[in-house]
Structure 1
Amino acid sequence: MVYYASKLAVSALIILAVSELAKRLPGFAALVASLPLTSLLAFIWMRVEGSNNAAIADLSGQIFWLVIPSLLLFVAFAFLLRHGVDFWLGLAISAGLTVVAYLALLPVLRKFGVQL
């Protein structure tokens, strides 16, 4: 239980640091936030828990393909906010578009032999 609490605390501290950094240095915070922190943490926790390189490599490869449709969220969200759409509505629309992009990409990947 202590181990899981430690994982949660470390992960939460990183998220807290980025959100606080964004208030003071938005450009640097954007750089830090653009790092695949969730993926990096997953790789680290997998290694600490004894996963082999093949399992971590598989996860890394799968993440690569799923990053592509997730980029739509950032483009759509920025566009909507700049055009006066309410924050929450823009976030919901952007997330919805991203889900649609994921669903559209999956059959394309399967067609080319990529299994997620």
Structure 2
Amino acid sequence: MAYYLVKIAVTTLLIVLISEIAKRSTLIGAILASVPIVSVLAMVWLYIDTRDVERISTLATSVFWLVLPSLVLFIVLPVLLKQGLNFYLSLGAAITVTVGCYWLMVHVLHYFGIKL
């Protein structure tokens, strides 16, 4: 149980730290947020839990393919905000479009025989 609390605390601390840094410098916040911290932490936790490098390799490959549709959020959100749409509406719409892109990517990869 203590191990899970440590995992939660470390992960949470990093997210809060990045958001606090972004208040002072959006550039540094963006750099830190763009580093795949969540993916790296997931791989570290997975390795500590399983020592299964094949599973980590599969996770890393899957993350690679799914980063591509996730970029849509960072295109759609600022476009909607610049159009004057409310933040929460813009965020919801951007997430919805991104989910659709994930769905599309999974199906396209499956079509080409790439298993995630």
Same fold flag (TM > 0.5): yes
Question: Which residue does 2:56 correspond to in 1?
Answer: 56
Alignment of 1:1-116 (within 5 A): 1-116=1-116
Number of residue pairs matched? 116
When structure 1 is superposed on structure 2, of 39-48 and 89-98 the one drifting more is 39-48
Residue ranges of structure 1 left out of the alignment (5+ in a row): none
User: RMSD in angstroms over aligned alpha carbons?
Assistant: 0.9
TM-score, normalised by the number of residues in structure 1 = 0.96
Identity across matched positions, percent: 40
Residue ranges of structure 2 left out of the alignment (5+ in a row): none
Give the aligned residue type for 1:45: W
**Hey, which bits of structure 1, 4+ residues long, moved more than 2 A?**
none
Q: 2:106, 2:11 → 1: CA distance?
A: 29
Cα deviation for residue 37 of structure 1 reads: 1.2
